[in-house]
Structure 1
Amino acid sequence: MAQARALVPEVREHAAEIVRLRADLAELALDLRTAGESAFGGMAEAKSYEARIDEHVGWFTDQGIEIKGIAPFLIDFPSTLDGRSVRLCWLEGDTELAWFHRTELGFAGRRPLP
């Protein structure tokens, strides 16, 4: 758990960038579909946003962190608690790692860390 908590500052940085890129890409895609142009660019820029998101996603997977969702951004750190397999759960906007759920339950079983 200490190792996961030590990664939280970097998690927050990478997550913030994913959230920003995700929003820009969503707006770009909507503009292109509805108006045919966007202040965010065109198809080349859309591909660039996707590639940059993938780079940040790669950082998480390289750390052994499971990405459960992009919107909202939700990740799990595999761990054990009291001898049970759990996932330490971090959701976009969380300031610290304060939640867990049993591996078999997923988000519906989310509880505050003891």
Structure 2
Amino acid sequence: MLTFPPMDAGPRFFTVEEANALVTSLELEFGRVARVRAELGPLIDSLGGADAAVELLQEDGEAPPGREADTERLRALAGEITAAVERVNELGCLVKDIDQGLVDFYALMDGEPVFLCWQFGEPAVSHWHGLEEGFAGRQPIEGVTVRPPPFMN
């Protein structure tokens, strides 16, 4: 019997309603990220700044003498942020900017792929932009029809 590796399913496409159904989960995840980042900033400064923190986060990064607990806390906080981003991505969304809390959702508009766009703090997904345009090209969804894809999602 022949077996074949699974085909890449490709990105998930959303309707506006499906994207909006995830806003509560996104708010929770980015709320966690904001709390972690509030603790992370002073910790990074105390460890010598961003470059030093990146070195500590590398596999072979060694904690400075007497700073082992701070280094472990840094790694734990970085892990929490990574886990939050992974949970959001597992929903089928794309985290575009963790600092601004930007998330995109693939969608189809007039048969063409676009991104529905949400930013942390917004009550709903209310904007879209082309795949190459980014946040600066955001346009209101109002008056635009976003249809479900004509294929299994």
User: TM-score, length-normalised on structure 1?
Assistant: 0.86
Q: Does 1:56 align with 2:95?
A: no
Compare the two structures and name the one with the higher helix fraction.
Answer: 1
Q: C-alpha separation between the residues in 1 aligned to 2:46 and 2:83? A: 24
From 25, 35, 44, the equivalent of 1:20 is 35
Unaligned stretches of 5+ residues in structure 2: 1-15, 50-63, 143-153
Aligned position for 2:139: 111
The share of aligned pairs that are identical, in percent, is: 30
| Bigger Rg over Cα | 2
Structure 1 residue 9: Cα displacement:
0.6
User: TM-score, length-normalised on structure 2?
Assistant: 0.65
Structure 1 residue 32: Cα displacement:
2.6
* Number of corresponding residues: 109
- RMSD, matched Cα: 1.7
How do 1:64-75 and structure 2 match up within 5 A? Answer: 64-75=92-103
Query: SS at the partner of 2:114?
Result: strand
Higher relative contact order, chain-length normalized (CA < 8 Å, sep 6+): 2
Structure 1 residue 47: Cα displacement:
0.4
Per-residue CA deviations over 1:60-80 (Å, capped at 9, x if unaligned) read 111111111111221101111
Aligned position for 1:6: 21
Aligned position for 1:46: 74
Compare the two structures and name the one with the higher strand fraction.
Answer: 1
Aligned position for 2:116: 88
Query: Could you list the runs of 4 or more consecutive aligned residues of structure 1 that deviate by over 6 angstroms after TM superposition?
Result: none
Q: Does 1:77 align with 2:118?
A: no
Unaligned stretches of 5+ residues in structure 1: none
Structure 1 residue 6: Cα displacement:
0.5
